[in-house]
Structure formats: structure tokens, C-alpha cells
């Protein structure tokens, strides 16, 4: 995998102009960008089309959790936009994940990733919704479910990456948000880790957000992330 492909920069903005300014400043230093619900709602699909036209890979983080027909429709729309990765909630069960995977077959470059347990959740959060196991145990359980549904990979925190390697197939992706440089605050992530720790543990990709996008020099910050990976 090319070094520039392992790092996904999250465009966590509430307007198109700010997102485009960061992409333009970073230039060829980043190949893959994450667009989430906030930016998609604010900017619409035109931004995604522009990123794809620029030769960027787009990770469309929709976290789909709906009836299978609706999930299939959303995945089809994502594929038509040219995105490379789209997320579904594994908590929704095999039905919605299988529907997403089946629809993605019409788009050879599109990968369906199953979100396991969001990085902000702790054991007490899971207990609130009736899940009486640790986040680590729940991540493994849901990863096995996603593998059975045919998903191309999973989303989990850096702290679960080592346990996950070997659960999905050998070509499956393990994408880890909640990544910060050593000494940085994890912000809203309860289960975080450094880029190096995530990749060493078995992650295929790391997602970085404010570490890069809110830095005074985004290019220099991105290079620090890459240096941590290569250490």
C-alpha cells in the first residue's frame, strides 16, 4: 500500500469552503479524504464529485443504519458518486450489511466497511443500551458478524486493531479513527492511539482530523503523522 494511501484526513467541517481550502493546501500530500454526515449535509454531493475529479479517494462515512432497501439505495448513490469506501452500522445486523455488499458489487472500486463500536463509547455507554460486555469484546463480535456478511473491512479504534487482525479475511481493511500524535489530546475519542501504534497493531488505515486540519501548517502536521507511521 502506498504511504499516502494509509492516512485518511477527515474533513470535519460545517461548510464546503473550509474543506476545499484544506484540500487545496494539502495538495498531493494526501490521497484519501473522509467526508462525514456534517459536511455532506452542509455541502452536498458536489464536493464529493470534485474530490473524485481531482483524483482523490473518498471515504464516505455515512454510518448507514436503516432497513436493507434504504441502505442499498444509499450505497448505490455513493457508488454513483465515485466514492471508494462507505460505512454501515454492524449493529444493524447481517441484513443491512449484506444488502450494502450486494449493491456495492455494481461498483468495483467501492468497499463496504462495517462500523463496530464508535471510538467515543466506553463500557458504561454500552451498558446503557443493554450490552453487558467490554467495547473490545463487542468490537470482535461485530467484526465476525461483518465478515460473515461479506463486508470488505471494519471500523474500530486503534486499541482493538491487534485483536481484529485475523478476524476479517487477509485482504480486509481495518480503518482506525481516534488517532492522535503522541502528547495530543484525544478530543472526543475515549479509545484512541497514535498512528504508529494503530498500524503496528494491524490497522490498514488511520484517520486523522484536527491534528492536521486545525494545524497552523496542515502539510507539516500531515508529515508528522507520516513520520510517526514510518518510525
Query: Any idea which residues carry the catalytic annotation?
Result: 63
CA atoms of 41 and 36, how far apart (whole Å): 9
CA atoms of 160 and 80, how far apart (whole Å): 32
Q: What SS3 state is found at 203?
A: coil
Q: What SS3 state is found at 89?
A: strand
60 burial (CB, 10 Å; 0-12 / 13-18 / 19+) is buried
Q: Is the dihedral of CA 20, 26, 28, 32 positive or negative?
A: negative
Amino acid at each position: 500500500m502506498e504511504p499516502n494511501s494509509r492516512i485518511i484526513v477527515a474533513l470535519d467541517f460545517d461548510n464546503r469552503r473550509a474543506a476545499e481550502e484544506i484540500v487545496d493546501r494539502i495538495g498531493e500530500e494526501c490521497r484519501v479524504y473522509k467526508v462525514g454526515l456534517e459536511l455532506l449535509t452542509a455541502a452536498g454531493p458536489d464536493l464529493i464529485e470534485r474530490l473524485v475529479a481531482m483524483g482523490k479517494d473518498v471515504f464516505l462515512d455515512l454510518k448507514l443504519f436503516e432497513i436493507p432497501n434504504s441502505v442499498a439505495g444509499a450505497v448505490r448513490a455513493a457508488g454513483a458518486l465515485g466514492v471508494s469506501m462507505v460505512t454501515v452500522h454492524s449493529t444493524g445486523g447481517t441484513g443491512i450489511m449484506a444488502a450494502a455488499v450486494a449493491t456495492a458489487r455494481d461498483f468495483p472500486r467501492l468497499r463496504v466497511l462495517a462500523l463496530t463500536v464508535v471510538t467515543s463509547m466506553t463500557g458504561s455507554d454500552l451498558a446503557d443500551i443493554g450490552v453487558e460486555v467490554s467495547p473490545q469484546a463487542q468490537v470482535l463480535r461485530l467484526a465476525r458478524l461483518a465478515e460473515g456478511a461479506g463486508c470488505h473491512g471494519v471500523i474500530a479504534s486503534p486499541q482493538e486493531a491487534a485483536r481484529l487482525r485475523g478476524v476479517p479475511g487477509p485482504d480486509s481493511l481495518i480503518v482506525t479513527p481516534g488517532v492522535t500524535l503522541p502528547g495530543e489530546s484525544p478530543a472526543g475519542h475515549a479509545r484512541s492511539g497514535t498512528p504508529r501504534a494503530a498500524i503496528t497493531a494491524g490497522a490498514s488505515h488511520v484517520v486523522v482530523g484536527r491534528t492536521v486540519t486545525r494545524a497552523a501548517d496542515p502539510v507539516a502536521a500531515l508529515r508528522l503523522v507520516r513520520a510517526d507511521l514510518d518510525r
